[in-house]
A and B are shown apart, each in its own frame.
Chain A
Amino acid sequence: MIAYAIRRILVGIVLLLSMVLVVFVLFFASGNPAKSVCGKFCTPEKLTQVTKVYGYDQPITTQFGEFIQGLAVGRDYPVNDAYRAALEKSNPDLVIHCAAPCLGYSQHDAATVNADIAKYAPVTISIAVFAFIFWIFFGVFFGVLAAVFKGKWLDRILVGVTLVVYALPTFFVGTFLLQYVAIKWQLVPYPTYVSIADGGVGGWLVGLTLPALTLALFYMAAYVRITRAFVLESLSEDYIRTARAKGLTERVVLFKHGLRAALTPLLSMAGLDFAALLAGAVITESVFNYQGLGLLAVIANQNSDLPVLIGLVIVAGAAVIIMNILVDILYAFVDPRVRLR
Chain B
Amino acid sequence: MSRPFLSVANLAVHFPTSDGLVRATDGLSYTLERGKTLGIVGESGSGKSVSSSAILGLHRGTNAQVSGEIWFDGTDLLSLSDEDMRRRRGKDVAMIFQDPLSALHPYYRVGDQISEAYLAHNQVSKRVARARTIEMLDRVGIPQPDRRVDDYPHQFSGGMRQRVMIAMALINDPILLIADEPTTALDVTVQAQILDLLQELQREFNTALIMITHDLGVIAEIADDVLVMYAGRAVEYGATRDLMTQPAMPYTWGLIQSIPDVTRSVDLPLRPIPGNPPSLLNQPPGCAFFARCEYAQFVPGDRCATTLPDLLPLSDGHLKRCHLDHDLASYAVVETGAI
Listed in ascending order, the chain A residues whose CB lies under 8 Å from chain B are 237-239, 241-250, 257, 260-261, 264, 334-337
| CA–CA, A243 and B56, complex, Å | 12
Q: B61, B120, B152: which contacts A250 (Cβ < 8 A)?
A: B61
Asked if B38 CB lies within 8 Å of chain A CBs, one says no
B121 an interface residue at 8 Å Cβ cutoff? Answer: yes
Residue from B87, B94, B107 within 8 A of A336 (CB atoms): B107
Residue from the list B58, B88, B106, B154 in contact with A244, Cβ < 8 A? B58
Which residues of chain A come closer than 8 Å to B117, judged between CB atoms? 246-247
- CA separation between A246 and B119, bound complex, in Å? 10
- The listed residue with most B CB atoms (<10 A of its CB), out of A237, A238, A241, A245, is A245
Chain B 92-120 near chain A by CB (<8 Å), digits 1 or 0: 00110101001111111100010011001
Q: How far is the CA of A335 from the CA of B108 in the complex (A)?
A: 9
Distance between B175 CB and nearest chain A CB, rounded to angstroms: 14
The main secondary structure of chain A at its interface with chain B is helix
Question: Closest CB-CB distance, A253 to chain B, in whole Å?
Answer: 10
**Selected A-B contacts with CB under 8 Å, 20 pairs:** A238-B99, A239-B103, A241-B97, A242-B113, A242-B168, A243-B116, A245-B89, A246-B116, A246-B117, A246-B120, A246-B168, A247-B87, A247-B91, A247-B117, A247-B121, A248-B86, A261-B105, A334-B107, A335-B106, A336-B154
Chain B, interface size category, equals 20 to 34
Of the residues B61, B90, B102, B109, contact of A246 by C-beta under 8 Å: B90
8 residue pairs, one from A and one from B, having the closest CB atoms: A247-B90, A246-B117, A247-B89, A246-B90, A238-B102, A239-B105, A336-B152, A238-B103
Q: Which residue of A lies closest to B89 (CB)?
A: A247
CA gap between A264 and B107 in the complex, in Å: 10
Cα separation A260 to B106 with both chains bound (whole Å): 10
Output the least CB separation between B322 and chain A (Å). 34
CA distance A247 to B80 in the complex (A): 14
Q: Are B89 and A336 in contact (CB under 8 A)?
A: no
Residues 252-283 of chain B, each 1 if its beta carbon lies under 8 Å from chain A, else 0: 00000000000000000000000000000000
| Chain B residue contacts of A261, Cβ below 8 A | 105-107
Query: Do residues B105 and A243 form an inter-chain contact, with CB atoms below 8 A?
Result: yes
C-alpha gap A237/B108 in the complex (Å): 15
Shortest A337–chain B CB gap in Å is 5
A261 to B105, CA, bound (A): 8
Query: Which residues of B lie under 8 Å from residue A246 when comparing CB positions?
Result: 89-90, 116-117, 120, 168
Given A245-B56, A246-B116, A247-B90, A237-B102 contact (CB < 8 Å): yes
- Chain B residues contacting A238 (CB-CB under 8 Å) are 97, 99, 102-103
Query: Within the complex, what minimum Cβ distance (angstroms) separates A308 from chain B?
Result: 45
> Is there contact, CB below 8 Å, between A257 and B90?
no
**Cross-chain contact A244 with B89 (CB below 8 angstroms):** yes
| A249 proximity list for chain B (CB < 8 A) | 86
Q: A242-B97, A245-B90, A247-B88 are in contact. Are A337 and B154 (CB under 8 A)?
A: yes
Assuming the A-B contacts A247-B89, A247-B91, are A336 and B97 also in contact, with contact meaning beta carbons closer than 8 angstroms in the complex? no
A30 to chain B, nearest CB (A): 50
Tell me the smallest distance from the CB of B321 to a CB of chain A, in Å. Answer: 30
Chain B residue nearest in CB terms to A250: B61
Bound complex: CA of A334 vs CA of B106, how far in Å?
Answer: 11
Which partner residue on chain B sits nearest A248 by CB separation? B120
Residue of B nearest to A243 (CB): B105
Which residue of the partner chain B has the closest CB to A337?
Answer: B154
Q: Report A-chain residues with C-beta under 8 Å of the C-beta of B109.
A: 336
B residues within 8 A CB of A245? 56, 58, 89-90, 94-95, 97
Q: Is the CB of B152 within 8 A of A241?
A: no
CB neighbours (8 Å) of B116 from chain A are 243, 246, 248
Give bound CA distance, A197 to B238, whole Å. Answer: 84
Which residues of chain B are near A243, meaning CB under 8 Å?
Answer: 105, 116
Closest to A264 in B: B107
